Structure 1
Amino acid sequence: MNISTNMHPQRRSAMVGLGAWNDMIITDYLDQAVSISPDSAALITYRVSEDARTTLSYRELDRIVTRMAAGLASLGVEKADVVSCQLPNWWQMTALHLACVRIGAILNPLMPIFRERELAFMLGHAQSRVLVIPHSFRGFNYAAMVHGMRTELPDLEHVLVIGGDDSANCFEQVLLEQPWEERIDTRALFAERRLGGDDVIQLLYTSGTTGEPKGVLHTSNTLLSNVRPYAERLHLSSDDIIFMASPMAHQTGFLYGLMMPIYLQTTAVLQDIWDPLYAVKVTAAEKPTFTMASTPFLADLIDIAPSHRDALASLRIFVAAGAPIPEALVEKAGSAVNAQIISAWGMTENGAVTMTRPEDDAERAIHSDGLALPFMEVQVIDDHGQLMPSGVEGNLMVRGASLFVGYLKRPELYGVDDHGWFTTGDLARIDAQGYIRITGRTKDVVIRGGENVPVVEIENLLYKHPAISAVALVGCPDQRLGERVCAYVTLHDGHSSLTLEDITAFLLEQRLTKNYLPEYLEVLPALPRTPSGKIQKFKLREQAATIRLGTAKR
């Protein structure tokens, strides 16, 4: 597939001049690690449901990557082809990305929670040639789901199933048990397929205001120019061990659980299902020093930490993002764990953009979302493009090295002005020291547990319900998840009632992901509107802020 980007020549020259882009790719760092410490652990993975631990050294990982890359090429994967995967935090995802980079393919990670509706769009839009899935995970049969979708996906030539029982589609039999590297001159293949720093290596879908997912395109330069200053700000080195339980199909897990450990030439410890007690067990065994996750993960860990302080003693840094950190949580963390709590803000389009520093006092993590990382800039403007004074809320703009290079097949949505500023859709203020605080969102999404909920898509589905005349979804605050989805509706004449169970069943029939289901429903005689008829969601958000979800009619 021909991938076009919005890369501007002046941007490249500016970023190279700053030293932000060095044209290295992740396999260069893999090569360095194999050369310097081949027998050091690259990956230690835990499958929670099976209580299974797997370890791969850098030498073993490199051997597997070489075989997989040659195998993918033998299956017909060409340079710039899209290889999708819907995988938990298993070693196969790290190996698959490295294998794709070796042969110039683009990895498209997909969240394991996605079902037919989301997958059909994303795989079709990406024109994915290969899809790698588990046979089953958390009791769900992915192989059966994808089998039922094949007729909708004419470009999808290969579905490789980890743990599959069909030899023709079994990931292990097709890619790992065949000596592909003996049948192909891999040195010549990899040299021919060598990527430049500005070639696209990642396609990651994010939900936006349009209700249709957008395919974010990143290069080695944009991603690694985020990883390097991120690690430097936190003073991370090869002596650190990285623990990642956040999904690697999210930018957080991908950048800091997949790429950063290889850049640092250190060990990544991966956990595939979030379970705080299991995380304590893993931490006690592997002694990680760093982790990053959304605020609910931190809340869960802090709740049980007082009984496991010694087991968690190795953690030095916990970066929390995805929602503001409640003050009480930081105070509780101070007495429960040794780790310093760092606050961060970012987007799929950028990775982490702002972050507090280990040198900052705890108040900074509570009351701000940090300073811009090196090679990144932020500014707050009004609706007319004028800079806002210190401490005054406005529209948050971002520019710099880790800014993505476009949306797949939708260049018109890029949203970057002639000076390189990207409109984030967030509202924020900046203090005199340059620390930002996210204060709201102009874009219409709800962030539940760090996951963007595609509000418009769900509203469009609910408009199909025979009883619903009008609908508006907003987020109501939740201390653990950040927000939960609340639905406000009006009914057509002739319909006197509607329950949460009714809309839940309806949305499941529409094959909506369960994590996106509303958790509160209120039927109103009318939705608040402007004189022009636009629904005033800010009034509904004010109303939702008073909801206690124990009253939800599940």
Structure 2
Amino acid sequence: MSFETLLTPERIARETGAGFWRDKVITDFLDEYAEATPDKVAFVDSRRQITFAELRAEVDAVARGLLAKGIGSGDVVSFQIPNWIEWIVVHYAATRIGAVSNPLIPIYREREVGFMVELARSKVIVVPQEFRGFDYPTMIEGLRAEWDFGPEMVVLGTDSWDQLRAGGDDAADLAALRPDPNDVTLLIFTSGTTGEPKGVMHTHNTMVAANDPLPGRLGVGADSVLHMASTLAHLTGFLYGARLNVQNGATCVLQDVWDAGTFVELVERHKITYTSAATPFLHDLVTAPNLADHDTSSLVRFCCMGAPIPRTMVREAKTLLPGLVVVGGWGQTEEGLVTIGIPGDPEEKVIETDGYPWPGMEIRVVDPFGTVAPAGQEGALQVRGPFLFVGYAERLEMARELMLPADDDRGDWFDTGDLAHIDQDGYLRISGRTKDVIIRGGENIPVAYVENVLYEHPGIASIAVVAIPDPRLQERACACVVLAPGWTELTFEQMQAFLAEKGLAKQYWPEKLVLLEDFPKTPSGKIQKFQLRAEVAE
């Protein structure tokens, strides 16, 4: 399968000529460090660890196994694996032969997985037998009966996985299959704001470029020990958990289930120096009951993504972890990380901004007429640069509509859908959203998508999902419901049972239900969600 993209020869020439695109793929780095530091530990997970040389051997074996199954350049390999080394192996093996990686978040269920794999037309899907009590093979078998195509299922820990790991033709010249760095390597889904998730496409060049500035900005190098507890199937985990260490010859410790106490123990055991996670993870760290009982002095960087960092949390981190530098960052699946703080920033920059642009990334704010706004004025945030995606799979026109022509030769601007202002020093501050999305602990809840599912309930005449404030997660979702004629009751438990029946991922479920006689509306009949939010918050 070959995906149509927005990538043009002009963009390739511009980013390559400027030095941002280095024409490298992630397996180039794996090969480099497997030769230079073969016995160095590359990854550690909750079950085992693996050196760079061992990782390359496993990757090559699985790559040959994929070839034996008929997987080739441009074919999609889906995998719904926790933060285990097998996730890394499958992704790198797919890269080795030019296939497209389609990582799926482990908590996704029938509705999300069914839509995503069908749009991707995946040739194979790799899942665990069980994780956190859920039976993945049974879910996939049920979906396979509904699909009009037949992706092969490989289950970790079974004969199908052993067969894949056994490889295929040892004579296969894997080096000859190295993909073009401008080919699509990643198909990763982002929360849908128009009723369905969007398949974001990235190339090898966009993803390698997105990690290149991090060593210079945050001091990450071969001696660093990185940590990742966010799912590797989220772009934060993908970039800074699955790839950053390999691009720098460092070690990464993977945590498959977040628990602050376990993280504290991992920091002491492995001398972790850097982690990147949503802001609530920092809250959990500074309140971990065993923090004072362990040596966490090695931890010097904590990058908070997706939500503001409360002032009290920054100060508490300074007190409890005096060697730790906390920085905030902002980005989207479409463009990776766009801004991040600079170590040494004053406290006001840490808590009141979302950081300073990465090298090569440009940001601007425009007013409703498209005029660039002065410093400090709120407007629509637009972004451009070498990390920008190359389109939405099978929805290219949707991506094209968000690309705004520029009056120079440095590329089009992408409309992020966020409201922001940029201060006089060039630091970004996200102030709101033009899209209807709730951000719960740094993770997007696609409001329209959830509302569409709830509209299928026969007892619901009208539904509006709104954000309610939360001290740890910043926002939680509340379902405001007007019942259909003839219905007198809908309980929170009944709503949850309905969402489970529909196969909606549990992290999207509203955490509160409010029944109303009617909604506040504009004269044209549009629901006034700002009034709903105020009423529910009270």
- TM-score calculated relative to the size of structure 1: 0.93
Secondary structure of 2:387's aligned partner? coil
Whether the 8 Å CA contact 2:354–2:430 is kept in 1: the answer is: yes
Secondary structure of 1:149's aligned partner? helix
Q: Does 1:143 align with 2:137?
A: yes
Cα offset, 1:184, TM superposition:
3.2
Whether the 8 Å CA contact 2:261–2:290 is kept in 1: the answer is: no
| Aligned residue type for 1:506 | F
Whether the 8 Å CA contact 2:264–2:291 is kept in 1: the answer is: no
| Aligned residue type for 1:320 | C
Aligned partner of 1:491 in structure 2 is 483
User: Superposition pairs for residues 136-215 of structure 1, below 5 Å?
Assistant: 136-164=130-158, 167=159, 170-171=160-161, 173-176=162-165, 178=166, 180=168, 183-186=169-172, 188-191=173-176, 193-215=177-199
User: Superposition pairs for residues 210-249 of structure 1, below 5 Å?
Assistant: 210-249=194-233
Instruction: Tell me the C-alpha RMSD between the 2 structures.
Output: 1.4
Aligned partner of 1:41 in structure 2 is 41
Secondary structure of 1:148's aligned partner? helix
Q: Unpaired runs of 5+ in structure 2? A: 407-411
| Comparing 66-75 and 494-503, the one that deviates more | 494-503
Secondary structure of 1:79's aligned partner? coil
Whether the 8 Å CA contact 1:309–1:336 is kept in 2: the answer is: no
Aligned partner of 2:409 in structure 1 is none
- Whole-angstrom distance in 1 between the partners of 2:362 and 2:533: 30
2:121 to 100, 103, 127: 127
Question: Quick one: structure 1 residues 457 and 101, their matched pair in 2 at CA, closer, same or farther if it must change by over 3 Å?
Answer: same
2:319 to 310, 326, 335: 335
| Aligned residue type for 1:408 | A
Q: Does 1:530 align with 2:522?
A: yes
- TM-score calculated relative to the size of structure 2: 0.96
1:254 to 204, 216, 238: 238
Residues 36-63 of structure 1: per-residue CA shift (max 9 Å, x gap): 11111111111xxxxx4x1111110011
Question: Quick one: structure 1 residues 126 and 302, their matched pair in 2 at CA, closer, same or farther if it must change by over 3 Å?
Answer: same
Cα offset, 1:202, TM superposition:
0.4
Cα offset, 1:327, TM superposition:
1.4
Aligned partner of 1:551 in structure 2 is none
Whether the 8 Å CA contact 1:208–1:443 is kept in 2: the answer is: no
Secondary structure of 2:288's aligned partner? helix
Cα offset, 1:10, TM superposition:
2.0
Identity %, equivalent residues: 45
- Whole-angstrom distance in 1 between the partners of 2:524 and 2:264: 54
| Aligned residue type for 1:45 | D
Q: Does 1:541 align with 2:533?
A: yes
Q: Does 1:72 align with 2:66?
A: yes
Aligned partner of 1:478 in structure 2 is 470
Cα offset, 1:494, TM superposition:
3.1
- Whole-angstrom distance in 1 between the partners of 2:218 and 2:133: 38
- Whole-angstrom distance in 1 between the partners of 2:233 and 2:206: 17
- Whole-angstrom distance in 1 between the partners of 2:290 and 2:140: 43
Q: Does 1:514 align with 2:500?
A: no
Q: Does 1:430 align with 2:415?
A: no
- Whole-angstrom distance in 2 between the partners of 1:307 and 1:448: 25
Aligned partner of 1:269 in structure 2 is 253
Q: Does 1:364 align with 2:358?
A: no
Q: Unpaired runs of 5+ in structure 1? A: 47-51, 548-554
Aligned partner of 2:329 in structure 1 is 344
2:436 to 421, 436, 444: 444
Count of residue correspondences: 530
Aligned partner of 1:412 in structure 2 is 397
Whether the 8 Å CA contact 2:367–2:380 is kept in 1: the answer is: yes
Whether the 8 Å CA contact 1:280–1:308 is kept in 2: the answer is: no
- Whole-angstrom distance in 2 between the partners of 1:246 and 1:213: 19
Cα offset, 1:501, TM superposition:
1.9
- Whole-angstrom distance in 1 between the partners of 2:293 and 2:340: 26
Cα offset, 1:6, TM superposition:
0.4
Secondary structure of 1:4's aligned partner? coil
| Aligned residue type for 2:155 | V
Q: Does 1:461 align with 2:448?
A: no
- Whole-angstrom distance in 1 between the partners of 2:506 and 2:274: 30
| Aligned residue type for 2:404 | D
Cα offset, 1:476, TM superposition:
1.4
Secondary structure of 2:404's aligned partner? coil
Aligned partner of 1:319 in structure 2 is 303
Aligned partner of 2:19 in structure 1 is 19
